[in-house]
Every structure is written in structure tokens, then in C-alpha cells.
Structure 1
Amino acid sequence: MASYNSISVEKLARLTGTPKGPVVIDVRDDEDFAALPSLLPASTRRPYASASQWAAEYRGLWVVVVCQKGKKLSEGVAAWLRHAGAQAESLEGGVEAWTAAGLPLVPVAAIPGANTRSGSVWVTRSRPKIDRIACPWLVRRFVDPAASFLFVAPSEVEAVADRFEATPFDVEGVFWSHRGEGCTFDTMIAEFGLSFPALQHLALIVRAADTDRLDLAPEASGLLAASLGLSRMFSDDLEQLEAGMLLYDAFYRWARDATQEKHEWISHVPKKGRDHE
């Protein structure tokens, strides 16, 4: 029987990737984690044994706690979090239920800086347009919500990456970049194992807009226009990124929930009333 303070796999999956979703914390023990060293999207691993010491960091936040089966570890940590002032729930069935539902897990080995508490650090060329906004959105929504992004002169990306222990992306000759006909967004989806159908749909649109193949997806022209407009509106790359986060939130929700919805100027008129026009 599900706990009163629990959340279903289906509900958490619907919240994954959305800006108002919960903080997700993985508290599996070392043995269970070693057997499957992957995380639910956008989740963080923390030790269950010291929950009483770190629980206060989440005061006022909505948290979902994940363990192997959704039993003692997640229930106990969630209780400590509530004690510290968080709104905390455990995931019904834990990681086992999530994987049984065929939902994606992110391999920890693929996440740069996965073992640091401060989040991953990425660096790319300044004045982003499409890929260099889409990729940070993907990382923050599905991989590492605490990720930081540095935008620097193109000639300095490699040196900045070296001196500041940052991961370069969307530049030539690095791991996180274009491959074949795909763009960096495609690379990240593949390497992070993010097989959500809506992301696959969005990836086609991003690829079409980023590689000047607008015929691949009818929505690509709109994404290109909006992206170029944002680049003209903001001289600060980080401000542009924040605005772009909302743009990709909207495209993702459309790809997930609204691809079949149509709109016309008389769509608000009941069909019966339109029959008499």
C-alpha cells in the first residue's frame, strides 16, 4: 500500500523536466548504487545516514526522495526533511519501479563533476543562438539543476576549460559537440540516455534550426526566429539564457502535450454556433 507521503512514478515522470518540479534526492545505499550507477533525471545523490545534518538545506522546498524500493531509506529521509521544514515525499517503488516503467536513467559516469556538491561547470562560445541555449536548458532541467555555464570568447574556450575545470561544449574538437548530422543537443540526449519521446521530438526541431535544415520540422523556423530575436534583445549572455529557458520550457511542453492541438480565430465559438454562420 502506498504511503500517504509518497508520489507515484507516473506523476514524477510528468513533472520531470518542468520548471516547477520537485527537487529529487537519491539516497540508495552504496551497494544498490554500485549495482546501478545511474540517477533519475535531474536528481542528486546524498547519504541517507546523515540526513538529519543536511535536511535543513531543503527547508521550504518540495522534495522527492528515492531509494531502491521506496521503503525504509526514502521514508526515513523524507521524514527528516519534513521535520526540517521541507515538503517531502518518497517515490513509490523507488528506482525499481522507475526502471520497470521503462523510464530513462542518467548514467553518473556521463555527468561532468557528478561527485561535486556545487554542480557541473560548462564553458562555450559567447553570443549563443540555438544549441548553446538548448543544451544548458537540457542540462539544468534533466541532468544537473545546479549546473553553471560560462560564455567566453571563442578563442579562449579551451584555455578557460583547462584553467577553471569546466567542460567545453558546442565547439569543434570536443566530446560534447556536433556529431555527423546531429547537433550538440542530440549528443547530450544520447550520452545522458534521455529517451523521453518529447525530447526526441524537440531534438529534431533544434537540429533543424541549428543546422539550417528547416525542412526537417515545420516548427524549426519559429525556433530560429525566436532564438535570433532573443540574441538581439539581450547583450548579456546569461540574461539571454534565462529568457531562453522559458522558450525551451514552452517548446518541451508543446512537444509533450500539445502537438495535436489546433488553433484558429473562431476556435472559441461552440461548434453548434458555427454551423449557423
Structure 2
Amino acid sequence: MPAPNAIAFEKLSKIIGTPRAPLLLDVRSDEDYSTHPYLLPGAVRADDRAMANVAALAPAAAITICRAGHRRSQGAAAILRAEGVGAEYLDGGFDAWRAAGLPLIDPARLPPRDAQGRTVWVTRARPKVDRIACPWLIRRFVDPRAIILFVAPAEVVGVAERYNGAAFDVENVFWSHRDELCTFDVMLAELGLSLPALDVLARIVRGADTARLDLAPEAAGLLAASLGLSRMFSDDLEQLEAGMLLYDAFYRWARDAQDERHNWPTNKPRTD
């Protein structure tokens, strides 16, 4: 049973990818990190003796992660609590998460972080499906503080180069369509995000984004909602914020509610 202020990997795996996910801080030593240079989805590297700097960012909640859940993560969580941050540590640490076969992100796949520790991603303006789905995936599973830039199609690559970002969903870049796969599919594969709910969501996104609505019954609904949002918002970032909620709902349905059915009540009152 986890100690007080500890969180089990089973519980954390249910929180990651949702809007209420806490800040994840990987406080492993450089030696431990070099042995397995991967991060939990959404986690960032941090110095366990510099938690006051983290607290200054005013996160509502945080979870610290060291190799096995001992002094580094427990101490860092305690310091954060002393600074007024609701903090827990991952019981069993990185090793327990890895042993359970849960997803890990290869940071080498990501663009470099800016001075505030954020990754930058650049795509075409006026998004519809893939260009909302991918930012949702990035912010929920890769970098919650990621900066998403929407620019003219001809300027995507140049802006990405100028600001050390990653261009996506344009031709002739790494993060883009490949054969019958859309950019969302490619990001899942390249980042190693293999989760049943994300696999289901990927089929829906692919169907909506590539005019193959037969791939999933829900694809037509996603396409309709996406086109509606694109007409409701003239500002791409406002549309993205609205779209985040849409994809949150589809993800939770794919994870928790696929078997649930809804119909008009049939329990009519007796007349005898």
C-alpha cells in the first residue's frame, strides 16, 4: 500500500491525458536518467533541490518521480508542500512505471525547449481536424505548456526554424501525413504513445481528417463538430481551446464509455 503523499502508477495512469493532470517532475539523477533517457508522458526534468523555483510557477498540484520513489522524489514533494503546492511522489518511481509497461516519451524526438521550458510547435492557420487533434495530444501527453503557433502555410517551416520549433501537418516535414496515416497517427507512433483509448481515437481522427468516414462510426460526428468550431471562431487559438474540450470528451469516451448505451427510458409506469 502506498505511503502517505504517494500515488500509485495505476492511479497516475488514469490522470495523465486529462485536464486535471498535475505537473509531473522527473527528479532522477543524471546517472539514472542516462540509463533510461525517457520521460513519463507530460513530465519534465527538474532538480530535486530547486523545488522553490518550481513552486514559483504556482502549479496547483505536482507529482515528483525519481528512480524508485525514495529520497529524491519524497524530499522534492515535501519541499513543494512546504511551499504551498499540493504534491505527491510516484510510489515505486520510474522503475515501477516502466516495469508495468506504461507509455514513455523519448525527449530526443521533441523540439528543444525555450527559455521557459516549453516546446514550440508550428502549423497552418485555420485548423480543422488534425491541427486541433495534434495540439491536444501534445498538451495532454507531451508538454502541457507547449506553445502552438498558427501561421500562413508558406511560412510554417520558416517560423519553426526561426523559433526552434517543430513544423507539423504540412508537406515535406517529419511530423506530417505518411501514406494513409494522418499526422495524429504519426505522432502516436513516433512518440511511443500506445494506449487502447488513443488507438481508438486515432481511427476516428484519421477517418474525419482523410474523408474516410467508414473507418469509425464516430468520425462523422468529429468532422461535423470540427467544421462547426472552425466557423464559430475566427481566432485559431480560441478554436484550439474549445477543441481541447472536444477531444477531452472523445478521449474519455474511448477510454471509459464505449460500452455505455443511451436510449429513451422504457420503464413505463404500471397501469394495473
TM-score by length of 2: 0.96
Structure 2: where are the runs of 5+ without partners? none
- 1:156 aligns with 155
Q: How does 1:187-202 map to 2 (within 5 A)?
A: 187-202=186-201
Aligned residues: 272
Give how far 1:38 is off: 0.5
Checking the alignment, whether the CA contact within 8 Å between 2:113 and 2:120 is kept in structure 1 is no
- Judge conservation of contact 2:167–2:173 (CA < 8 Å) in 1: yes
Contact 2:111 2:166 in 1 (8 A): yes
1:118, CA displacement in angstroms?
Answer: 3.0
Q: Name 1:263's counterpart in structure 2.
A: 262
Aligned CA distance change for structure 1 residues 60 and 142 (closer, same or farther; 3 Å) = closer
1:78 corresponds in structure 2 to 77
In the alignment, is the contact (CA less than 8 A) between 2:135 and 2:148 conserved in 1? yes
> Which amino acid in 2 is paired with 1:250?
A
Question: Quick check: 2:119–2:147 contact (8 Å CA) kept in 1?
Answer: yes
CA deviations 1:66-89 (Å, max 9, x no partner) are 110011110000010001000110
Q: Please tell me whether the aligned partners of residues 157 and 167 of structure 2 are also in contact (alpha carbons under 8 angstroms).
A: yes
TM-superposed deviation, 1:109 = 0.6
Query: Which letter does structure 1 place at the counterpart of 2:251?
Result: Y
Report the 3-state secondary structure (helix = DSSP H, G, I; strand = E; otherwise coil) of the residue aligned with 1:106: coil
Q: Cα distance 1:274–1:191, how it changes in 2: closer, same or farther (>3 A)?
A: farther
Aligned residue type for 1:20: R
Distance 2:194 2:156 in 1: 30
The match for 2:42 is: 42
Q: Could you tell me how far 1:155 is from its partner in structure 2?
A: 1.3
Aligned runs of 1:101-250 on 2, under 5 Å? 101-114=100-113, 117-250=116-249
Q: CA deviation at 1:62?
A: 1.0
Residue deviations 1:188-216, cap 9 Å, x none?
A: 01111111110011001000110010001
In structure 2, do the counterparts of structure 1 residues 147 and 215 end up closer, same or farther at CA, with 3 Å as the change threshold? same
Between the aligned partners of 1:91 and 1:162, the Cα distance in structure 2 is 37
Partner of 2:11: 11
SS in structure 1 opposite 2:192? coil
Report the CA distance between 1:55 and its aligned residue.
4.0
- State how far apart, in whole Å, the 2-side matches of 1:263 and 1:169 are: 38
Matched-pair contact (CA < 8 Å) for 1:123–1:151: yes
CA shift, 1:124, in A, is 0.7
Tell me the CA shift for residue 58 of structure 1.
4.9
| d(CA) in 2 for partners of 1:2, 1:38 | 24
Specify whether residues 115 and 106 from structure 1 end up closer, same or farther in structure 2 by C-alpha distance, changes over 3 A only.
farther
- Is contact 2:15-2:21 (8 Å) kept? yes
* Counterpart residue type for residue 103 of structure 1: L
Q: Which amino acid aligns with 1:104?
A: P
- Computed over aligned residues only, the root mean square deviation of the Cα atoms, in angstroms, reads 1.7
**How much does 1:156 deviate?**
1.4
Give the deviation of 1:274 after TM superposition: 7.3
| CA offsets 1:148-183 (integer angstroms, 9 cap, x no match) | 111111111122122222211000000000011100
